[in-house]
A and B are shown apart, each in its own frame.
Chain A
């Protein structure tokens, strides 16, 4: 049996609930448009259900720990195409082992989810550093990002805490998602808006920063390979100092 969800975290956990409820063991949990019709397995359409999602969510916390649900959620943010099946397998092992699942890294299903979550955490932490705000004429601080993983949800708390007195906007241009902070709360907007900032000059401090960036490097230790290892090229286009 193949379970087909809307691809959301809620949808996948709903599917897992249904699998246990139906006493079925689906061979995969996939999202719409991401599966091939196979003649010998049936397909079940799953409709996302808040209540079912909650119950699985709480069961994971109760039986496996808070950390386990965080790992599952972060792994989902990786947008890995077979994440539904991966989370299902992880949860099956977790329900048997309890909190020990976190350490059971010799198991391929556990280590897969753990690695995905690790990759997402790593990139989220990286963006705490490499996200750049540009101060627009309106006073709004605007940042454009294009992360590999869907990390925007993981970084907003940090910026809210750090820059609590300045309005800011973080724009994931890849996923067309905005996080907007008005010095009070963060709201997320899921819309395809084209943001033009070319006319907004923030030249003075951008120029100072670029010059600082050049002056602080030691010529005798030049090592562009090492630089690229820490800061891969794909991130450069949204970095002020690389323009």
Chain B
């Protein structure tokens, strides 16, 4: 098969993996090698669906022994199959890289013959890249569920980032939709990698830093393939950040690709808005000091589609508002709807020099559309309706115009 056709098939099969970030590793170029890694990550292009391309994201193979019901590559699907050779893929990566098309490689795979066999092919590819092509750029590699931990360790020495996709957010959904995988084959390697990362960091105290997955570990959860609630997803996310120290959890709105009685029908459109709300909540967990149980509970297990999670929280906690922009501590400013991390920091720095008026905030490019109902500036309230008038929900809720909502979907806000 021609390389062009292979690339089409194996990119097409990899596209539902939403992660593409190239951040978290800072590494300078070295003499005689090609490449470095930029701490903040770099996006190289944006496809027609508005998602960024940073890494060359492909499967090594889409031949699979498994029959996971949600997956396009399941063994019982009649689709075109292909596999790269380690030589083809390592050369392709370097040639793309030298033309500045990409930041590096994101290598995932279906399971060919056995998890160990697949993992070995991946390792061979990475070794060719690192040692033959002297490639010093970014590599994100997937752990194949069920592969021997010693193989996962080897891959971790060659990669910047590793991930293993949980995909289904509960044991129950996993049993229903991916009966050949069990929970342990995912959690065990994740826990192993997180221990190794910690170990590598401790070693740096004694000697030169040993590279083991320096950009950390990530995972992906599918939204809307199973019946799991937003609350289930968010609690799991929180545990992944706290216990396994994951760098990111990605969410992928399920695009129905298969027919099955336990799946949404193939005519269902992907729940993009729900995915968007979960991303917003994820940011609140990571950067804004919120916990999952503040945002959702058993009585409200799903996010409101018309209002973002922070606004939703604020409306349920109106007794905490309005806050004075010139006095509220950073943690409190971060909880004001419409005020992001960058703006909160700007405010704290600027008010040390001179007190801030409402006009000052505008000049500093603070978006006041929502914030004005939750703050005072020098004691004065600027909302056009009173905070406890009971009208805020309708004022703040977004028009359910699908276009504007989709337009806001961005992972880089």
- CB-CB < 8 A to A132: which residues of B? 99-101
Please encode chain A, from 154 to 168, with 1 for each CB lying within 8 Å of some chain B CB and 0 for all others: 000011111111100
* Alpha-carbon distance between A223 and B408 when the two chains are bound, in angstroms: 11
List which B349-387 residues lie within 8 A (CB) of chain A.
Answer: 349-350, 352-354, 356-357, 360-361, 363-365
Indicate whether A63 reaches chain B with its CB closer than 8 angstroms: no
* Alpha-carbon distance between A223 and B272 when the two chains are bound, in angstroms: 12
Taking a contact as CB atoms under 8 Å apart, the answer to whether A217 and B100 are in contact is no
- Distance in angstroms from B404 CB to nearest chain A CB is 10
Taking a contact as CB atoms under 8 Å apart, the answer to whether A223 and B406 are in contact is yes
- CB-CB < 8 A to B51: which residues of A? 217-218, 221
Given A161-B28, A162-B35, check contact A135 B98 (CB 8 Å): yes
Report, nearest first, the 4 A-B pairs whose CB atoms are least far apart: A226-B50, A106-B360, A103-B349, A217-B47
- CB-CB < 8 A to B410: which residues of A? 226, 230
Indicate whether A201 reaches chain B with its CB closer than 8 angstroms: no
Other A-B pairs beyond A161-B28, A216-B47, A226-B46, 17, CB < 8 Å? A104-B350, A106-B350, A106-B354, A106-B356, A111-B363, A128-B38, A129-B54, A129-B103, A141-B99, A161-B36, A205-B95, A208-B96, A215-B11, A223-B409, A225-B403, A226-B406, A230-B46
**Interface of A toward B, CB cutoff 8 Å:** 97, 100, 102-106, 108, 111, 115, 125, 128-135, 141, 143, 158-166, 202, 205, 207-209, 211-227, 229-231, 239-241
Given A103-B353, A212-B56, A225-B407, check contact A231 B42 (CB 8 Å): no
Indicate whether B45 reaches chain A with its CB closer than 8 angstroms: yes
- Distance in angstroms from B73 CB to nearest chain A CB is 14
* Alpha-carbon distance between A209 and B11 when the two chains are bound, in angstroms: 11
Cβ-closest chain B residue relative to A101: B353
* Alpha-carbon distance between A96 and B2 when the two chains are bound, in angstroms: 67
A222 contact from B14, B31, B49, B99, Cβ within 8 A: B49
- Distance in angstroms from B413 CB to nearest chain A CB is 12
Taking a contact as CB atoms under 8 Å apart, the answer to whether B364 and A227 are in contact is no
Cβ-closest chain A residue relative to B101: A209
- Distance in angstroms from B60 CB to nearest chain A CB is 15
Cβ-closest chain A residue relative to B268: A220
Given A129-B42, A223-B406, check contact A166 B98 (CB 8 Å): yes
What is the interface residue range for chain B against chain A?
A: 35 or more
Taking a contact as CB atoms under 8 Å apart, the answer to whether A106 and B96 are in contact is no
Taking a contact as CB atoms under 8 Å apart, the answer to whether A230 and B50 are in contact is yes
Please encode chain B, from 79 to 109, with 1 for each CB lying within 8 Å of some chain A CB and 0 for all others: 0000000000000100110111101000000
Most chain-A CB neighbours within 10 Å: which of B3, B36, B48? Answer: B48
Indicate whether B68 reaches chain A with its CB closer than 8 angstroms: no
* Alpha-carbon distance between A224 and B403 when the two chains are bound, in angstroms: 11
* Alpha-carbon distance between A222 and B409 when the two chains are bound, in angstroms: 12
- CB-CB < 8 A to A161: which residues of B? 28-29, 36
- CB-CB < 8 A to A217: which residues of B? 15, 47-49, 51
- CB-CB < 8 A to A240: which residues of B? 99, 101
* Alpha-carbon distance between A219 and B257 when the two chains are bound, in angstroms: 12
A229 contact from B35, B57, B92, B407, Cβ within 8 A: B407
Cβ-closest chain A residue relative to B14: A216
* Alpha-carbon distance between A164 and B103 when the two chains are bound, in angstroms: 15
